[in-house]
């Protein structure tokens, strides 16, 4: 598989997202320190039993936040966050394809060269962040289809002819050696602060823009591993997250292939080539948008 090169993404509302993210890190740090099992998968019944499980997925560039926890203060690791985003994308795409799903990665290069597309993706991410803050607190509500990203998610799926969107968030904390030593004092030498990475993945359906499935897990690691071996950490984390994700069955694949063959024959009979979603998006742009581009 060709590795996808993705530039750092900093879309959405940073202040609100960061505030919520800090709360997530505190909760996750407690779970890591206790060593409890954390891998979870929450799915609607139709998703679990193939009736509404997307086969053709559009994977949006994940958003990653990486904090270095030092003795006195914390430091946001911007470049390292970008590396985690790239490796998380590669790992998720590979793992989903291994399970029999067709995955298209939407790169930041595509978004930047197409006027209006980046704004559409930003709106989807902003809306998802609002739902994500509720989702991590009450993930069981996914089964009742309580979370929706709205019509912009539907537009994005329609544009790329996808059955669903895959949206991921990655949070990582790297604890310095000094911080680990200090946190171990008075705790029988066992540090209460440990390095870890956490990944949340939501699958959003193309019909109503609702979250049909949510998967989450964490991986205990070290600051050195996070900074020097992001591919290894994200690869293991993606495998953990997708462990409860149902594999696409033979019938699912045959149905998808049959639909693609029928669509190809229809296009051939009309003498038309398969449309490029980027070209279609540009064709819908207003003259003012084209002039700005």
Name the residue among 254, 166, 160 with its Cα closest to residue 205: 166
Q: Left, alpha or beta for 272 (phi > 0: left; psi -120 to 50: alpha)?
A: beta
- pLDDT digit string (tens) for the chain, length 293 residues: 444 444 444 444 444 445 445 445 544 444 444 333 466 899 999 898 877 789 999 999 999 988 776 444 455 667 888 999 999 999 999 999 999 999 999 988 888 888 889 999 999 999 999 999 899 889 999 999 999 999 999 999 999 999 999 999 998 887 754 444 444 445 444 344 578 889 999 999 999 999 999 999 988 888 888 888 999 999 999 999 999 999 876 454 445 445 445 545 554 454 444 455 555 555 555 455 555 55
- Burial of residue 192 (CB within 10 Å: 0-12, 13-18, 19+) is middle
| Residues 116, 150: Cα–Cα separation, whole Å | 18
Q: What is the pLDDT of residue 195?
A: 81
The token duo for 218 is 């964490």
Q: What is the pLDDT of residue 69?
A: 61
CA distances from 29 to 33, 186, 220 (A): 6, 18, 10
CA quadruple 114, 120, 125, 126: dihedral sign: positive
End-to-end CA, the chain = 32
| Residues 242, 211: Cα–Cα separation, whole Å | 16
Q: What is the pLDDT of residue 173?
A: 84
| Residues 181, 176: Cα–Cα separation, whole Å | 9
Give yes or no for a contact between 113 and 265, defined as CB atoms under 8 angstroms apart. no
Q: What is the pLDDT of residue 206?
A: 94
Name the residue among 168, 162, 134, 169 with its Cα closest to residue 148: 134
Q: Left, alpha or beta for 172 (phi > 0: left; psi -120 to 50: alpha)?
A: beta
Q: Which single residue is written with the structure tokens 């003498």?
A: 271
């Amino acid at each position: 598989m060709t590795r996808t090169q993705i530039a750092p993404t900093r879309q959405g509302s940073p202040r609100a997202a960061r505030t919520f993210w800090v709360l997530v890190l505190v909760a996750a740090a407690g779970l890591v320190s206790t060593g409890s099992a954390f891998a979870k998968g929450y799915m609607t019944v139709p998703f679990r039993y193939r009736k509404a499980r997307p086969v053709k997925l559009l994977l949006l560039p994940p958003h990653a936040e990486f904090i270095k926890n030092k003795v006195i203060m914390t430091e946001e690791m911007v470049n390292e966050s970008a590396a985690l985003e790239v490796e998380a994308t590669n790992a998720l795409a590979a793992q989903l394809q291994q399970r029999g799903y067709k995955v298209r990665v939407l790169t930041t290069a595509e978004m930047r060269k197409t006027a209006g597309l980046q704004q559409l993706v930003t709106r989807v991410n902003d809306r998802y962040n609002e739902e994500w803050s509720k989702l991590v607190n009450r993930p069981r509500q996914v089964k009742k289809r309580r979370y929706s990203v709205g019509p912009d998610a539907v537009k994005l799926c329609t544009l790329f002819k996808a059955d669903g969107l895959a949206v991921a968030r990655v949070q990582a904390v790297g604890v310095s050696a000094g911080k680990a030593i200090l946190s171990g004092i008075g705790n029988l030498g066992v540090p209460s602060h440990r390095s870890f990475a956490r990944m949340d993945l939501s699958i959003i359906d193309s019909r109503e823009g609702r979250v049909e499935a949510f998967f989450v897990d964490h991986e205990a690691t070290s600051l050195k591993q996070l900074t020097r071996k992001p591919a290894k950490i994200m690869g293991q984390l993606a495998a953990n997250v997708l462990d409860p994700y149902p594999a696409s069955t033979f019938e699912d694949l045959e149905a998808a292939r049959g639909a693609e063959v029928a669509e190809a024959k229809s296009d051939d009979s009309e003498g038309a080539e398969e449309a490029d979603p980027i070209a279609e998006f540009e064709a819908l742009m207003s003259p003012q948008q084209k002039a700005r581009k």
